[in-house]
Structure 1
């Protein structure tokens, strides 16, 4: 093969390599900057306000009891408890909402009482990742409270039905009772776990005691020390079980009182 032909072939190969590199570079660039148009932005774990956790704001304690999302209705509903610790008589607030891209969303107040608020956010985009609910004092002064949910963690429901006060109140009671029942279940699981651990420790004590038959006095002293540590571990775990049982008893009493309150209100 002539030198000229070899040079030509080499140049063609180099050109092909160059275009392949450019193709992948440009393709990756376009993919990165266009991906948000054909798929939702990944929800950031930092954009999440946990359900049932108190948020301190302007001498108030704000707790999300429920944050639900209906995709078919493009609608969200948020249930808030607000404890005013300042006792300033201000119990009405301004609310607004927006998505991660800064698009404003319609926010309507369904229920607004001194310590309980139901809100609806409508017009949720089909492709969304995070939504922020903003809460302000009525005069606009002070700090703005921002509460967040994301497409991964929000509770998804088929439909959000409009209800009267009694309907929302009954729902609130049911959620509170359900959450307390979950606490009881979690405590019972922990008790089972501790009982299983105690059983394993007791097996180990039995094993050590059997081995003592063929041990020297020095070895028996070491074994007795291990048994004492094991018994101490059992005592500690039994104490934890007693505390969990007391917690379960208290929660069950609260459930009974909540059911009584619900019944007295005719809900």
Structure 2
């Protein structure tokens, strides 16, 4: 039976009947009896590791101006991929991205939550749960507190509203926005991590959700440029299981969004 929506009338989680998996109220920390994270949690951890690795090696670096040595060669982003408009502030950029992701959740047809997404092995529900988990992780990084991934009985729309509101509130607080996150986040300010997370994770998974559920797939142009800025120089380092797959060739006339998605292993 298909889900009627996030958190209501959903198909029972098959894992609930698996005696090998231990579940905790509210999703717990999303770990199995053997201590291994469940798929969405594992992917979120890897996503954080990828962003932190990029941050450590490119901290406060301007990717559009400064050539960066890679294998003895100077790297420079192709001119046609560069962002030429005036950059939005992090709260502005995040606000647009969060609003659009929320719209995709609310407008998801009730019978599409279990449809497969472009992420191998993930449904539309899994994609949203992953993004919510990453937001909770980012906020928890401010004070080292714990967090939990959404459980199958949780209302995803409410979970997303709460998680994105916490990020928005922290961005509005100058102390929290500038607070340095730990080494696992790349030792960068919270607002910089949010910029990277929003553009390299939330935006991309927004497209995954739109593709899985038959919604508008157009992405925020500035977010696409920022994601390209962050990810393009890291080509060889982001290819790993549960992160990004092999690149897909782009057509000569492909636009910036299509080229980014192809670069991240997505067929458009």
* TM > 0.5: no
What is the TM-score normalised by the length of structure 1?
0.21
Q: Looking at both structures, which has the greater relative contact order when contacts are Cα pairs under 8 Å and sequence separation is at least 6?
A: 2
Larger Rg computed on CA atoms: 1
Kindly indicate which of the two structures has a greater share of residues assigned to strand. Answer: 1
